[in-house]
Amino acid sequence: MRSPLPLLDISDVKAHRGQTAILRDISWRVQPGENWVIMGPNGCGKTTLLRLLAGYLSPSSGDISLLGQRYGESDWREVREKLGIVSSSLQASIPPAEPALETVISGRYAQLDFWGTATDDDRRAARRWLKQFGIVHLAERPWLYLSQGERQRVLIARSLMARPRLLVLDEPCAGLDPIARARFLAQIDAVTARPHSPGLVLVTHHVEEITSIFTHVLLLAAGRVVASGPRREVLTSALLSKTFGAPVVLSTRRGRLGLDVV
């Protein structure tokens, strides 16, 4: 039986800004059924890697394939419609007066500041996703008047409108209080329980946000892969210490991971 195509396949990718190497020989593969965490210190190359995946930046060398389509040989605007990205960087591009319902609808068309004509089916689908995240009552509320937690849930709903095969969450809990964070993470876990759920990639600095649904971990430091593979093999005190350049101890407290600097 032929093995399924990987959702994402990166091979020997380098990225430079002028004479500065941002990413060095990055290789990473995401298979169907895997949910990944990316961790590393500030400046390790996480943001550059995400920009490469979205096609907003071209690699200096190496190969990137997303859903079987190779970068440079396919129309990345079409490929990108099957890649959902939730990032705080998107928030500045959403008009303050845009209602939450329209923000969600915009995800179906891979547009920010949606200017098209929404169909009745668009509106029904958007309301279903808002309901999934417990915020259907906010459908007509302008973006300006949503809390940070509400905005993150709207962005998740938006990303799922196009039924992506891979969903990237770029530090989605930034700015959330502990209660909002716990609720948000529970809702992400619920997404994976739905039929035909997308593969997940969580970018975070906090091990506390790594729930049981995440199966694999990619550790980055100074633009290089420190370790990559199954969670039980990679998420260790020794490898995290190497990644962050300081001795740390990984622990579990009441079912949640914790990290202490020693």
Q: What tens digit of pLDDT does each residue of 219-250 get?
A: 999 999 999 999 999 999 999 999 999 999 99
Looking at residue 221, what is its pLDDT? 95
- DSSP letter at 57 equals S
pLDDT value at 80 more than 80: no
Taking the C-alpha atoms of residue 122 and residue 227, their distance in angstroms, rounded to an integer, is: 42
Taking alpha carbons only, the member of 177, 184, 228, 173 closest to residue 27 is: 228
Confidence (pLDDT) at 3: 65
From 137, 145, 135, 154, select the one nearest 97 (Cα to Cα).
145
Mean pLDDT, to the nearest integer, of 60-82? 83
Mean pLDDT (the chain) is 89
* H-run or E-run covering 180: helix 178-192
**pLDDT score at 149:** 86
pLDDT band with cut points at 50, 70 and 90 for residue 1: low
Instruction: Give dist(CA 243, CA 227) in Å, integer.
Output: 9
Q: H/E/C letters for each residue in 93-120?
A: HCCCCCEHHHHHHHHHHCCCCCCCCCCH
